[in-house]
């Protein structure tokens, strides 16, 4: 999703929840207000929800408690097993942001900390695929690290290296973190209106509706 990053989560599975809870100082800013981010995604969703990148099931849990019909899509075998064991009442299947098979009518696509695994071109393709599967009024609700400009991204990488947080800086350089203008165009081209809300120094909430 891109699948080239799937194996990273084999190494992270045992410490992921500690990271999102703020125990790892290097990732504390990335996961600041994590619970608020999950709740914001949940509250803006409705109906039958496809969640990309279920991870250990933190967002999944909130979606289920909200009463939605949830289908989990997770490319990492270990993460998929964790979510399936936590929530045996839902379907958690192998797939990613671009390659997935869902036999239900979908109302909302959701994800947190996932969309950056796709290149900008792939992001555009994915949004058009979601549009083809949603009715008018259907939604995409994603939360992920985004930057206002490319310079803002460069500045953030330099800031993290100056703090000795090289793992975060390496992540920002390795994966496909993009900018709001790029995403605004991609959502518009795919037939969505979209609003962006800043959740912390890294993460923005994307709330898109098919028109």
How many domains does one find in the chain? Answer: 1
Residue 69 domain-assigned (yes or no): yes
Please give the residue range of the domain that contains residue 91. 3-146+178-210
Residue 95 domain-assigned (yes or no): yes
**Residue 14 sits in a domain of what CATH number?**
3.40.50.150
Whole-number pLDDT of residue 3: 55
Residue 185 domain-assigned (yes or no): yes
Residue 154 domain-assigned (yes or no): no
CA-based nearest residue to 4, from 75, 83, 73, 82: 75
Residue 7 domain-assigned (yes or no): yes
182-208 tens-digit pLDDT = 999 999 999 999 999 999 999 999 999
What integer best gives the mean pLDDT of the chain?
A: 93
Q: Which residue has the tokens 């869902």?
A: 102
Type and span of the H or E element at 135: strand 134-145
How far apart are the C-alpha atoms of 103 and 120, rounded to whole Å?
A: 27
Residue 10 domain-assigned (yes or no): yes
Residue 26 domain-assigned (yes or no): yes
Residue 203 domain-assigned (yes or no): yes
pTM of the model: 0.92
108-164 tens-digit pLDDT = 999 999 999 999 999 999 999 999 999 999 999 999 999 999 999 999 999 999 999
């Amino acid at each position: 999703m891109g699948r080239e990053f799937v194996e990273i989560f084999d190494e992270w599975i045992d410490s992921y929840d500690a990271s999102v809870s703020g125990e790892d100082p290097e990732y504390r800013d990335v996961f600041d207000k994590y619970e608020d981010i999950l709740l914001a995604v949940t509250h803006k969703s409705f109906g039958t929800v496809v969640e990309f990148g279920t991870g250990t099931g933190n967002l999944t849990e909130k979606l289920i408690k909200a009463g939605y019909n949830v289908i989990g899509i997770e490319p990492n075998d270990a993460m998929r097993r964790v979510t399936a064991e936590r929530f045996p009442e839902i379907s958690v299947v192998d797939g990613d942001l671009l390659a997935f098979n869902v036999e239900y009518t979908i109302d909302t696509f959701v994800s947190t900390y996932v969309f950056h695994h796709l290149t900008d071109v792939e992001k555009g393709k994915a949004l058009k695929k979601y549009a083809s599967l949603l009715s008018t009024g259907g939604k995409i609700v994603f939360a992920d690290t985004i930057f206002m400009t490319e310079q803002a991204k460069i500045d953030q990488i330099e800031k993290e290296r100056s703090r000795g947080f090289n793992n975060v800086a390496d992540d920002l350089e390795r994966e496909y973190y993009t900018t709001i203008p790029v995403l605004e165009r991609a959502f518009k081209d795919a037939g969505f209106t979209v609003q962006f809300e800043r959740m912390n120094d890294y993460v923005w909430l994307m709330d898109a509706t098919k028109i």
